[in-house]
Structure 1
Amino acid sequence: MSKIAFLGLGRMGEAMATNLLKAGHALTVYNRTPEKADALKQQGARVATSPAEAVREAEFVFSMVTDDHALTELTTGPDGILSDLPANAIHASCSTVAPETNRQLAAQHATHGSYLVAVPVFGKPDAAAAAKLWLAVAGPAEARERIKPILAALGQGTQDFGDDPGAANVVKLCGNFMLGAAIEAMAEAFTLGQKSGIPRQQMYEFFTSTLFNSPVYKGYGKLIAEEHYQPVGAPPSIIRKDLKLMLNEGRERVVPLPFANIIFDRLSATMARNDENIDWASFAQRVSDDAGVDNYK
């Protein structure tokens, strides 16, 4: 049993924290909105009033927050993680942030005598609840090895991307872009089929049982075929933020990313409609809009 702190209890964070608790670890949790910790408290977690208090005795710290600013503030701000984190403790940074953000925070951890390991995850909240996430891991070799048994409680597999903590975040940004590209491709294909007299559902069933028989095409394809984008895995604003990070990385590395720009623009148009209480894959409806298809739900 390890002493673990979990900071950030949105739908993903709460599900991941619950699985750590189920695995028998001593868990302390913190969330800026305290009420979100109630369910975990009832299951035996201790609730802290600040990040510093939460990590005071921790061997491992997990953070799952919205963006780079939130992670930086949580780590280095007043009453942040580095205020009271014990030496040799490991901070598993699970948020989708810029690669450089985790590199900079890893350097501050090293100065402090602790470690940061980037552990961005792939999967929706239901996959997190079922401990079926896929995890990308990068950071100091010693810390990666020590945290490996803890990560087993969270997902169905991990992939090691080496010593550079930014590497795992590059993988995460690329993965989210690839999901977006698949959504755009299916939306265009299903819409063309529909306007040619072929039902969207028939297109979906054929492709996902033959050439594209995979979880991504089956899961997101069902939403696109039915044009029903509930429940919300992630809202458009969150993934738009990720695509912006992807485009920034492309500029930094001098890599043209024309498809990423298309997806970013689709998400921007979706946000402009104030469609937040809907899954981010709903940007596929913009394809229907452009094609004059007005029977979507």
Structure 2
Amino acid sequence: MATVAVIGLGGMGSRIAGRLLDAGHDLVVWNRTPQRASDLVARGAVAADSPAEAARRADLVITMLADPAALQEVAEGPQGILAGATASTTLAEMSTVGLPAVRRLAAMLPDGVGLLDAPVLGSVSEAESGSLRIFVGGPEPLAQRWMPVLGALGSPMHVGPLGAGAAAKLVANSTLFGVLAVLGEALALADGLGLPRDTAFEVLSATPVGSQADRRRPAIESGQFPLRFALSLARKDADLVVSAAESAGVELPVAAAARQWVASAQKAGLGDRDYSAVIAHITDTARSG
């Protein structure tokens, strides 16, 4: 079994680490707040004093971090991952950080260090159950080497060379935010036209957004949106989608509009709520407007 290090033990990283322990891997962990490692250490993981130490002790280093700035902080510098990585180390960047961050990391790799960009589709429940969708970018032999480890976390799919994983995740995210915005606006329209919510949901169930309407209905009706993925992080991801489109010279007015709704919800104080709370924000805003 390979020794795996997990850098970043938030909601996603801690569950990924737990899955690796369950699969029988030797595990090294590091988090900026050391207390977050305590439960994993009690289960047999080793806590490293720095990202560099974690990298020195591992064959595969997984990063699951909030944003590009966090990745830069833990990867670079005298105590960063790159300072501890050796020619036998592979780094799997599993956060959603976008193409520029992946390219920056690739440009700084020590000789012989392998890099995969492997962001995930799914949230804490999928991470806990091992049902994440994992978009793997990088050289195919390197990707195939680590497929058994990634398979403990979900369903990995090799999508192309380095950077393709980040690109695939942005494509997926562009649909997620767009669907929530469309659902929110459809409900706002139903409210404005006097259509009862029960009827509106029956109508929406017959449309392309039907599965999302059915899935989100209990939260919308209760006004409670259990936290799976913070809206503040969704804002970061929506920004990455729009930025990537602009860099590629692609006009995405729907993605830009969805991003604007997410940004508006964050400005309204919903940043710590689940990102699906944007639906309630849309209906409330439309009603008050």
Tell me the residue number matched to 2:116.
117
Structure 1 length normalisation: TM-score? 0.90
Structure 1 distance, partners of 2:111, 2:216, is 43
Tell me the residue number matched to 1:39.
39
Return the letter of the residue paired with 1:127. E
Tell me the residue number matched to 1:219.
215
Structure 2 distance, partners of 1:263, 1:227, is 23
Tell me the residue number matched to 2:270.
275
Tell me the residue number matched to 1:9.
9
What are the Cα deviations for residues 138-192 of structure 1, in whole angstroms up to 9, with x where unaligned?
012221011100011001x2221111x2121111112112111111111122232
Change (3 A) 1:230 1:289: closer
Return the letter of the residue paired with 2:91. H
State the SS of the aligned residue for 1:150. Answer: helix
Tell me the residue number matched to 1:86.
86
State the SS of the aligned residue for 2:270. Answer: coil
Tell me the residue number matched to 1:183.
180
Following superposition, the deviation at residue 202 of structure 1 comes to 4.4
State the SS of the aligned residue for 1:58. Answer: coil
Once the two structures are overlaid, the 10-residue window that deviates more, 258-267 or 202-211, is 202-211
Structure 1 distance, partners of 2:90, 2:265, is 38
Alignment of 1:161-240 (within 5 A): 161-163=159-161, 165-204=162-201, 207-208=204-205, 212=209, 214=211, 216-223=212-219, 225-226=220-221, 228-240=223-235
Change (3 A) 1:198 1:13: same
Following superposition, the deviation at residue 39 of structure 1 comes to 1.1
Following superposition, the deviation at residue 198 of structure 1 comes to 3.5
Structure 1 distance, partners of 2:236, 2:65, is 13
Structure 2 distance, partners of 1:85, 1:170, is 25
- Pairing 1:129–2:114 present: no
State the SS of the aligned residue for 1:92. Answer: strand
Structure 2 length normalisation: TM-score? 0.93
Alignment of 1:96-115 (within 5 A): 96-109=96-109, 111-115=110-114
Change (3 A) 1:108 1:130: same
Return the letter of the residue paired with 2:168. V
Structure 2 distance, partners of 1:227, 1:270, is 18
Q: Percent identity?
A: 34
Following superposition, the deviation at residue 103 of structure 1 comes to 2.1
State the SS of the aligned residue for 1:96. Answer: coil
Following superposition, the deviation at residue 248 of structure 1 comes to 1.3
Following superposition, the deviation at residue 292 of structure 1 comes to 1.5
Q: Is this contact kept in 1: 2:204–2:210, CA < 8 A?
A: yes
Structure 1 distance, partners of 2:176, 2:105, is 28
Return the letter of the residue paired with 1:81. I
State the SS of the aligned residue for 2:82. Answer: helix
Q: Is this contact kept in 2: 1:137–1:161, CA < 8 A?
A: yes
Structure 1 distance, partners of 2:32, 2:84, is 18
Uncovered stretches (5+) of structure 2, i.e. residues with no partner? none
1:159 to 138, 146, 157: 157
Following superposition, the deviation at residue 285 of structure 1 comes to 2.4
- Pairing 1:259–2:257 present: no
